[in-house]
Structure 1
Amino acid sequence: MKYILLFFTLSFTCCTTSNFFNSKNIIIDKFPKDTTLFGEKINIESIGTNYLIIIDTLLICFKAQGVDNYFDIYSTNTLNKLGACLTTGRGPNEFLSIQYNGQYFNDSLGIRMWLKDDANLRISLFNLTESIKQEKTIIDSCIYLDRVQEGYGFLINDTLINIDPYPENVFFKTYELSTDKLLEPIKMFKNPYPNHSYQDQIFAMTTTLRPNNKRFASSMIFFNQINIYSSNFKYRKSLSIYTPTPSIKQVLNTPREERIVYYSLVGSTMKYIYALYINQPNSSWDTPRKIEIHIFDWDGISIQKLIIPQNIIYFTIDEKHKQLLGITSDEEIYKYDISMCI
């Protein structure tokens, strides 16, 4: 197993500001096409599943709390269970927390996934194929961190990119592994009201990286906004959905439980960005209702709106079978035909 130890700069004196709220947003008031999907329930029992992951012909039921293990693995062709792996602990092949940001390899060495464990201060290259074959967790290499790097962590060649959420700001940090150097951070968002009592997590968002590693897309939880940008921020586009983006002050002045949750998740393929649109107060966003998934291309052009009768809280795309799989808060899994828009 290969190990790399990183020592991150603990502080910095300057940064570039690239505030998405300072740019002129494109308002998407409607989508070219609306399609209602009808789901088929899948009979899979994986107790504690929070998220679904599909890689090639494998369906992973990801249990964020590590109930028995983190991953239950099934075949997308037969829905037969193929195994379970990734146990909780502090051992070399164990995890105290897992964050998966959609990055994997599928080559002669098998399917390998980058997994981030903030609690154990490491990023591991997990070999899914060998773990299924050997019926135990196989880690090909690790990058050890000297401190918790909170937020989304993406590895692009010899570069680690971390989208770091501070209470008052969000920083886009680029760390060169080959030279052991932290580049000048980019401030993505700045809160002009840092002393406000409700300012925590104001810029919360979910982020996906295009499979060719060229662009990111982030959906904001408390703003009706999708941001598409390159790692050097030379390309940047912000979309406001249905109405102009509410002001920071407006959101801050709304009590936490009454804040509107706009987007809870964003995912992507090479062709499209898929964003799960909630548009409900924080206190009731998981109540039964129809759900929308908004589809955009990587240039920010709106493509289609999918309407889903079930109240799914998470989804993943099965490109091979042209399906979307979603899971509800009751851990019921549904599959939907999306051959018309994939």
Structure 2
Amino acid sequence: MNFIKVLWVANVLFILGTSSCSPSLKNGFELIDPQEALTLRSEMFLSDEKVTNVFYDIAIMDTFVIFADYFSDSIIQIHSLNTPGRIIKSLYRGNGPNEFISPYFNKSVPPHYQTEELGFIDLNARKLGSVRLKENRRNIHSENLPAAFPFCTDLNRTEDYSYGIDTDINSKSMFFIWDNKKEQLIKGIPFYPTLKKDYPEEAHSFLYSGHLCVNEKTESIVMVMLNLNMVHFYSLKGEINKSYVIGKQLNSPDVASKFLDFPKDNKYFTDICGTDKFVYCLYNGTNKHDGSSEIFVFNWNNTFVKKLQLNNPLQKIIVDKSDKYLLGININTEGGTEVVRFLLKD
């Protein structure tokens, strides 16, 4: 073992407790600190010049782009992908039997673009919903969530299973796996890694919070961390395959923080999305919200591919199925949101 490798191993062991080692992760964490990045310039896709929008989620499906909106009565807006200013259909807040309050779109790969049906979850309404877009029919379906289904973010729902990040402050897991047919929890995936710093137990669910993307075809789950500069690759059974640290060392929040969610500390990964080929991880790395974002791109074989440097601070991202372009939600100076586009291929 050469001198540099000895220093690296010593640094990891200094930061982590001995219990952080996993039998399936023999070589520890791989450090990623790319000095070069592909710089991308944005173009306006949809502005709020005429109508104030406060979009908080986004999805692409066939010839449509779909937004969830905090501000408008049209809580879900379906726009033409080729003519973004054209609204094809809106789902209105409190409208009829399919009433929704704050829906979030299914993040799994590939259902968000390979079918004509977009799924979403609304935890406040305790409902699962879907919008079917086919020819001139745009049917809305909803069903009540099972009583035992966890309150979660980042729902990734496949035919048989659901994966999500439990938002309960007493949660003991990074994410959970749910059996859709038996309507029962299979298991929660334990917090990882174990840190030497003695964080209060009630802060753990915030410390290990992040974002999740599932690709059933490649039997992979990727979780990126908000308060730790880490990316984890798991099997569909929740077994960890590989972990990356972004930068020269593992960083973690101030253990003396007065707030459980560490608002003054650096925030690292703020969103994730995937296609058949790649997973795109939106990275901030500071405690500011107005700096330009970066995107770390991996393939589904757990391998780092490249870093993208953007010229906008983005909150949410989505990539089309051919990996040709990326759409991102950007908060403007007036407090509304704009949608910008970045070309990924010439």
TM range (shorter): 0.7 to 0.9
Asked whether the equivalents of residues 218 and 228 of structure 1 are also in contact (C-alpha less than 8 Å), the reply is yes
Instruction: Please say if 1:26 is aligned against 2:30.
Output: yes
Q: Evaluate the alpha carbon distance shift between residue 317 and residue 181 of structure 1 in structure 2; reply closer, same or farther with a 3 A threshold.
A: closer
Task: Write the distance in 2 (CA, Å) between the matches of 1:200 and 1:252.
Answer: 14
Among 50, 74, 80, the alignment partner of 2:79 is 74
The match for 1:323 is 325
Q: What TM-score comes out, normalization by structure 2 length?
A: 0.77
Q: Evaluate the alpha carbon distance shift between residue 21 and residue 225 of structure 1 in structure 2; reply closer, same or farther with a 3 A threshold.
A: farther
The match for 1:244 is 249
Task: Write the distance in 1 (CA, Å) between the matches of 2:248 and 2:41.
Answer: 28
Asked whether the equivalents of residues 58 and 75 of structure 1 are also in contact (C-alpha less than 8 Å), the reply is yes
Identity across the alignment (%)? 20
Structure 2 SS opposite 1:54: strand
Structure 2 SS opposite 1:92: coil
Asked whether the equivalents of residues 121 and 147 of structure 1 are also in contact (C-alpha less than 8 Å), the reply is no
Aligned length: 308
- What is the identity, as a one-letter code, of the residue corresponding to 1:26? E
Structure 2 SS opposite 1:252: coil
The match for 1:265 is 271
The match for 1:221 is 226
Asked whether the equivalents of residues 211 and 224 of structure 2 are also in contact (C-alpha less than 8 Å), the reply is yes
Asked whether the equivalents of residues 129 and 140 of structure 2 are also in contact (C-alpha less than 8 Å), the reply is no
The offset of 1:193, in angstroms, is 4.2
* CA offset digits 1:104-152 (Å, max 9, x no partner): 3667xx611221111222212332347xx357x521x535321562114
* CA offset digits 1:215-257 (Å, max 9, x no partner): 111111111001111121345211101122225xx54334533
Among 232, 238, 245, the alignment partner of 2:237 is 232
The match for 1:294 is 296
Structure 1 SS opposite 2:263: helix
- What is the identity, as a one-letter code, of the residue corresponding to 2:207? I
- What is the identity, as a one-letter code, of the residue corresponding to 1:264? T
Structure 1: stretches of 5+ with no match in the other structure: 1-18
Alpha-carbon RMSD: 3.0
The offset of 1:195, in angstroms, is 3.3
The offset of 1:211, in angstroms, is 5.8
Structure 2 SS opposite 1:300: coil
Structure 2: stretches of 5+ with no match in the other structure: 1-17, 23-27
Matches within 5 A, 1:20-99: 21-23=20-22, 24-30=28-34, 34-45=37-48, 47-63=53-69, 65=70, 67-89=72-94, 91-99=96-104
Q: Evaluate the alpha carbon distance shift between residue 159 and residue 87 of structure 1 in structure 2; reply closer, same or farther with a 3 A threshold.
A: same
Q: Evaluate the alpha carbon distance shift between residue 73 and residue 232 of structure 1 in structure 2; reply closer, same or farther with a 3 A threshold.
A: same
Q: What TM-score comes out, normalization by structure 1 length?
A: 0.78
Task: Write the distance in 2 (CA, Å) between the matches of 1:218 and 1:329.
Answer: 24
Asked whether the equivalents of residues 68 and 103 of structure 2 are also in contact (C-alpha less than 8 Å), the reply is no
